[in-house]
Amino acid sequence: MNLASHPAIARKLVLIRQNLHELKIALQSVTILEGLRIMTTALVTGASSGIGEEFAQQLAAKQTDLILVARSQDKLEELASKLQQQYSINAEVIVQDLTTPAAGKTIFDLVQQKGLTVDLLINNAGFGDYGKFSDRDLTRQLSMIQLNITVLTELTGLFLPEMKQRGQGGIINISSIAGFQPLPYMSVYAATKAFVLNFTEALWAENKDTGVRILVVCPGPTESDFFKVADFPDSFVENQSKTMSMNPAENVVAEALKALDKGQSNLVTGGFANQLIVNIPRFVPRDFLVSAFEKQFKK
């Protein structure tokens, strides 16, 4: 006699399978890092669109509570409401212009006032600007440095000590494949991303034995408003789209969370083409390399 065919036993087997499935989901939902290190609250800057919004989406799906930071109150509140309803998580909204001085300290103080603990910090906010440096607005360039470098460093410096004290946590800083070489017509942007790359890899080495995992993510062209915000000419974007593919933000974020889980120091997303781009500087004279990029990026 097949015991599994007995009605009473069959019902119990169904219940056992359901319970096991629910347990598996529960374990997955509270685990971002291996070893069941619970990451209950993540702070995401630039959360209103693009990669930042996708981080919020995927983390919420893992039952991670969120602190969403950006300038757009309407977009943040809409996203927070959607994720709370969809995943039954808590989502706090902090409306803050990160290009203002001491923006990082303002955010840190607000988090403290709310009695929240940041287990995962995602420094995603940033923008680029296209054109000859001497022709572009200097104030905008300085704002880029404030956003891409200063506030990222500030938030890292404020939240990292707490993570080390707890013996666990995670930080993801978003750089770019632009950070591996100078880029004419995007000189300040590429330089800021080089800072993020080197800064984050150094922190990874400093904190390997602290329980805090630190990762720098270097995406290639990604589906977002980056080119529009950076004021690239439409003709340039059209020409580049013929030779380069846009990686969905969903893929970038999924790869990043896996890399953090593995304890990697850096991640270049987008496949072989981007790996080739970031390794070219190791084999090509710099004058030749910069001249080649100047021709590629010239209007």
Encode 254-286: b = buried (16+ Cβ within 10 Å), e = exposed.
ebbbebbbeebbbbbbbeeebeebbeeeeeeee
CA distances (Å), origin 114, targets 117, 209, 247: 9, 30, 36
Three-state SS for 122?
strand
Helix or strand (DSSP H, E) at 281: none
* Number of residues that make up the chain: 299
pLDDT at 15: 64
User: Domain segments of the chain: what residues?
Assistant: 1-33, 34-297
DSSP-derived 3-state class of residue 193: helix
Give the model's pLDDT for residue 274.
Answer: 85
pLDDT recorded at residue 244: 64
Across the chain, which has 299 residues, the per-10-residue mean pLDDT values are: 52 56 48 50 97 98 97 96 97 97 97 97 95 95 98 99 97 96 94 98 98 96 69 64 73 97 96 86 89 83
Based on the residue annotation, tell me whether 87 is a catalytic residue of this protein.
Answer: no
How big is the CA angle at 91 (ends 88 and 94), to the nearest 5 degrees?
170
Alpha-helix residue ranges (DSSP H) falling in the chain: 7-29, 50-61, 73-87, 103-113, 138-145, 151-166, 187-206, 226-229, 234-241, 249-262, 272-279, 286-297
Pick the CATH number of 34-297 from 3.40.50.2300, 3.40.47.10, 3.40.50.620, 3.40.50.720: 3.40.50.720
pTM reported for the whole predicted model? 0.83
Catalytic residue among 87, 130, 185, 189: 189
